[in-house]
Amino acid sequence: MLAVRRFVIVLGVAAVFLAATAFAIDANAPAKPKKPEAGPHHPAVVKLEGTVSVTKDPNNVVTAVKLTTADKTVYHVTLDKKGLELGGLNDKKVEVHGMVSEKDGKKWIMVHDFKPVEKKATPPAKPKENKK
C-alpha cells in the first residue's frame, strides 16, 4: 500500500512538472506578428483606377511608369517586377492595388496587383413605343 501511495505522489509531481514546463515553453514562444495599422509609417493597401503612361530611354528601356487618376493625381510607380509589368499596359486604363507613399512631394505606389479595366458596354437603346 505504501508503494502505491509513493507511486501516486511521484506521478502527481511529474504531472505538475510537465504542465509547468509546457506552460513555460508556450509563454516563451514568439508572439504572432500583428498586421501594421495604416498611418504615416505603415501605409495601407489602396485601390486606384487610372491610365498608365510609360517613359523609355533611347534603348527602349523603361525608365518611368506613372498612373494618372481621373482627378489628375499622378502616382509614380516603383519599378520593381510588378511595376514593370504594369508598364506593359501603356495608355491603358487599369485598376491597381498597392501601397501609396510620398517622397519629395511626389506620390508613389508600390504595385501589389493590377488588372485592365474593361470598358463598360453601353446597353442597346430601347425602341420607343408609339402611343395611340
Q: Where are the beta strands (DSSP E) in the chain?
A: 45-56, 62-69, 74-77, 93-103, 106-116
Shortest CA distance to 66 belongs to which of 20, 107, 103?
107
Residue 50 has a pLDDT of 96
Q: How confident is the model over 97-111, as pLDDT tens digits? A: 999 999 999 999 999
Q: How confident is the model over 26-83, as pLDDT tens digits? A: 555 565 555 555 555 556 789 999 999 999 999 999 999 999 999 999 999 999 999 9
The sign of the torsion formed by the CA atoms of 79, 84, 89, 91 equals: positive
The domains found in the chain, sorted by start residue, are: 45-116 (2.40.50)
- Residue 9: alpha-carbon gap to chain centroid: 56
Residue 19 grid cell? 504542465
Q: φ, ψ for residue 60 (rounded to 5)?
A: 70, 25
- Residue 6: alpha-carbon gap to chain centroid: 60
